[in-house]
Amino acid sequence: MPDISNELKLGITLQGVEPPDVFQQQVRDLESVGYSHLWVTDSSLHARYVYSYLTLAALNSERLMVGTGVTHPFTRHPAITVNAIATIDEISGGRAMLGIGAGDRPTGELGFSPARLKMMREMVTLARRLMAGEKINYANSAFKLVDAKIHYKHRDHVPIYMACSGPRMLALAGELADGIIVQVGVSPEAIKYAIQCIAEGAERGGRSLDEIELWIMACGAISEDREQARNSSRTMAAWFAQTVPLYCELANIDPKIVKGIQTAYSGGEFHLAKDAARLVPDEMVELFTVGGTPDEARDRITRLADLDFTGINFMPIGPERTQSFKLFADCIRGLQTRG
């Protein structure tokens, strides 16, 4: 059977939590161990500025696709976001991606609620039109464009990825996006459910799944120290109970456990939810993360072998992020696909 690394792409999401010199070395390491895509989070006040770090990523790599992982419609006018990513695309020599999401807790501390479907649709549509070189006049309740266009030479299509968990947002992404970062955990049942939602949206948009890149979000800490890795990953599993409890219900997690996690959950980012994390059983770590030893991470990805998707997008959790992403790359290289 062929090596899975010949079929699957390997991406990563990083927050700008490391100092610039450390981040630049991480970028060089990522490329050397086989990652092809790097998304940097737009984490408001929780991490360093996303477009500065994307510039560093572009200048410290030769092949990596680089993009927001993800930005949102709130803290910048959508046209400014398009201008920013078009600039990153120029700096990187055509390697930029625009990742968009509804907005999570880092936007909440700035007074915003997650974007509704209508706003997400408008942002994606306007981004495409601006990239195509159109002059746009447009107004809605959130923003306006008056004879707006990009006034310099730029690539006319930067791929747009949507990060999604909920069924309606997954369907919208299936209708509109070039690629989708599916954040529903790593159980085959949850991913099958998400793909079904995406397929319904794709059909509505007159497209097939073959036209869309599907990326599975796989979060967690990877270490030979099993307990340390699992404990570092529990905050991410708690995020699912708090933010998209639907997937706990699909997995038949005890509702009392879910309610307890929700009651204890606090903090503007998942890694701050330490009280809630203490209530997360190993079962949830295994369903929603790849946290654990390299063998355990490999086993969880192997469970997905019968599903059709483009790549795995790893997000390292915990203090040893560089070690985690190197070990995860080893896991993917060592996997064997379905035969």
Q: What pLDDT digit, counting tens, does each position of 125-177 carry?
A: 999 999 999 999 999 888 899 999 999 999 999 999 999 999 999 999 999 99
Strands (DSSP E) along the chain, which ranges?
9-14, 37-40, 65-68, 96-100, 136-139, 144-148, 160-164, 179-182, 213-220, 311-316
Is the link from the previous residue into 290 a cis peptide, with omega within 30 of 0? no
Asked if 64 and 97 count as a contact pair (C-beta separation under 8 A), the reply is no
Q: pLDDT tens across 58-103, in order? A: 999 999 999 999 999 999 999 999 999 999 999 999 999 999 999 8
The domain covering 4-224+290-334 belongs, at the CATH homologous superfamily level, to: Luciferase-like domain (3.20.20.30)
Indicate the SS3 state at residue 167.
Answer: helix
**Local confidence band at 107 (pLDDT 50, 70, 90 cut-offs):** confident
At 289 the pLDDT is 98
pTM above 0.85, yes or no: yes
